[in-house]
Amino acid sequence: MKVRPRSERAGRWSAREVGTLFRRLARENPAPTTELHYASPFELLVAVLLSAQTTDQAVNRATATLFPVAQDPEALLALGPEALAGHLRGLGLFRTKTRHLMATSRLLLERFGGAVPQSRAALMQLPGIGRKSANVILNTLTAAGTIAVDTHVFRVANRTGLAPGTTPRAVETRLDECVPDRYRSRAHHWLVLHGRYVCQARKPRCPECRIRDLCRFQDKTPPDPREASRRGSGATGRQPARAWSRHRPR
């Protein structure tokens, strides 16, 4: 996952530029949140664990049948591994995730009274929960200023030059240093959504990007002449760049 951004502007982002970036993303989507569906801390923990190397949409399809019969660790353990695997069969690594969920539910009961712990160190004791997943859970449940670096955040941080790094931990450290306190609790979700819907991996939607003028990426996607032609004739035929802001969990 090593990326070296090519820059149009020299040097690191200034504090003013970083503030401008998050101010624009906040204006676009004032209350960003996860797209995983959940109704309790335990359900969020399960959904985050299942999301490794899997899209949120696929996780939501699986949990739509799982959560009605496994709302807590006791109920999940009562299902047993084969019944649990049946709900997860459409996900990548579903056998491994089944083992992790069974073991995690058991540890929650044995060490934490069935509750989801509220510290990163404690969360990382659970099978299948690493630093990134623990940061996601803490940020979503407690509005802590933790910034989880997934593939979208890693790409945006490097491509724009906002917080370049060769590893997720290096990017996390750079983001910790540069994100203003007033934006920290929502920075992760803003960057994830920007990477998922605008700064996409194969063909970034640069012409629609709200931070295009700040971005250091040299090979920006040029405007599509067909789009310009349609706009000139009064026809748009496309979804607005803010389409992602309508996505909300139940």
Both tokens assigned to 20: 């401008």
Helices (H), the chain: 15-28, 41-50, 56-66, 73-79, 81-88, 94-112, 120-123, 131-142, 151-160, 168-178, 184-197, 225-232
Residues 139-154 have a mean pLDDT of: 92
In this predicted structure, the answer to whether residue 242 has a pLDDT above a threshold of 70 is no
36-60 pLDDT, tens digit per residue, is 999 999 999 999 999 998 999 999 9
For residue 250, name the pLDDT band (cuts at 50, 70, 90): very low
Residues 225-235 have a mean pLDDT of: 55
As annotated, the active-site residues are 132, 150
> Can you list the pairs that 198-206 forms with residues at least 24 positions away whose Cβ atoms lie under 8 Å?
198/241, 198/244, 199/152, 199/155, 199/156, 199/159, 199/160, 201/151, 201/155, 204/159, 205/241
In this predicted structure, the answer to whether residue 230 has a pLDDT above a threshold of 60 is no
Rounded Cα distance, 58 and 159, in Å: 27
For residue 229, name the pLDDT band (cuts at 50, 70, 90): low
Report the percentage of the chain scoring pLDDT > 90.
Answer: 79
What values do phi and psi take at 132, rounded to 5? -60, -50
Residues 16-39 have a mean pLDDT of: 95
Domains of the chain: 15-32+147-208 (1.10.1670.10), 41-142 (1.10.340.30)
Rg over alpha carbons for the chain, rounded to the nearest Å, is 20
